Structure 1
């Protein structure tokens, strides 16, 4: 996957004038879902630091019951506390994993920082075992740097 080719389109989606942030984020999720064949669920969770919970934002993919996730629970909740990327090659091997669907085999979560504060994350599920590489991490870090400009 050549992520460099996708970067200009990510920037274009997020810099579109006169479009609300939520609409831009949903369009970004759709773009990633459509252009990376092993991205089978793409969404954002945003942190409520006072209540130590994550709240589901725009996403594309199968519906999820996980609209609120406590910090520390599951992959997303762990990233809310660690402030570090978390790549899970095989979700079945994770003790602290919140199962969304039996079709999900792997997951990557990359925190979203605004002014040095973790305000949320991009979360991607795949139906493929171990598809995520360092290139995915660097690309999603770029995506989140672009998203951070909206806040």
Structure 2
């Protein structure tokens, strides 16, 4: 499935009536994980700026023990501080990487902005080395723009 096809699917998920934002976000995670062969774990971490922590929200994939991540720790924590996309082609090359699974080889994390503030992020793990492209980044930024409107 192309990213253009996935945009249609995400839009349809977000246009459902009577469905909670968490349920929609879970459905988006499942759609991305199911339709992009190298998206092996897809989840949202939401920011708590008072405690400077990220909290696991909706996700699709193997459950993780990393449900709370301090700002600055791991790839997700670094994105919470930098407010920038972070693409890790090979997690073995990262000193500040939090291993969720020995199968994970690469990761992409894209922040979600609402009213100019980083409110969370989408985190995707892949069991392949270096699968993410600029097209992935652009698509995930689009997804996060849609999510920000929902929240």
**TM-score category (smaller protein):** over 0.9
1:31 aligns with 2:18: no
Aligned partner of residue 96 in structure 1, secondary structure: coil
Deviation sequence 1:61-85 (CA, Å, 0-9, x none) = 1110000000000000000000000
Q: How many Å separate the matches in 2 of 1:149 and 1:102?
A: 35
Unaligned stretches of 5+ in structure 1? none
Runs of 4+ in 1 over 4 A off after TM superposition: none
Aligned length: 151
Q: How many Å separate the matches in 2 of 1:60 and 1:7?
A: 18
Match of 2:80 in 1: 80
Q: TM-score, normalised by structure 2?
A: 0.98
Deviation sequence 1:98-123 (CA, Å, 0-9, x none) = 01110000000000011111000000
1:64 aligns with 2:85: no
Match of 1:92 in 2: 92
CA drift at 1:48: 0.3
CA drift at 1:15: 1.8
CA drift at 1:58: 0.5
Q: Which deviates more from structure 2 when the two are superposed, residues 131-140 or residues 4-13?
A: 4-13
Q: How many Å separate the matches in 1 of 2:123 and 2:43?
A: 5
Q: How many Å separate the matches in 2 of 1:38 and 1:134?
A: 15
Unaligned stretches of 5+ in structure 2? none
Deviation sequence 1:42-75 (CA, Å, 0-9, x none) = 0000000000000000001111000000000000
Match of 1:133 in 2: 133
Match of 1:14 in 2: 14
Q: How many Å separate the matches in 1 of 2:12 and 2:41?
A: 21
Aligned pairs for 1:110-149 (under 5 A) are 110-149=110-149
Match of 2:5 in 1: 5
Aligned partner of residue 58 in structure 1, secondary structure: strand
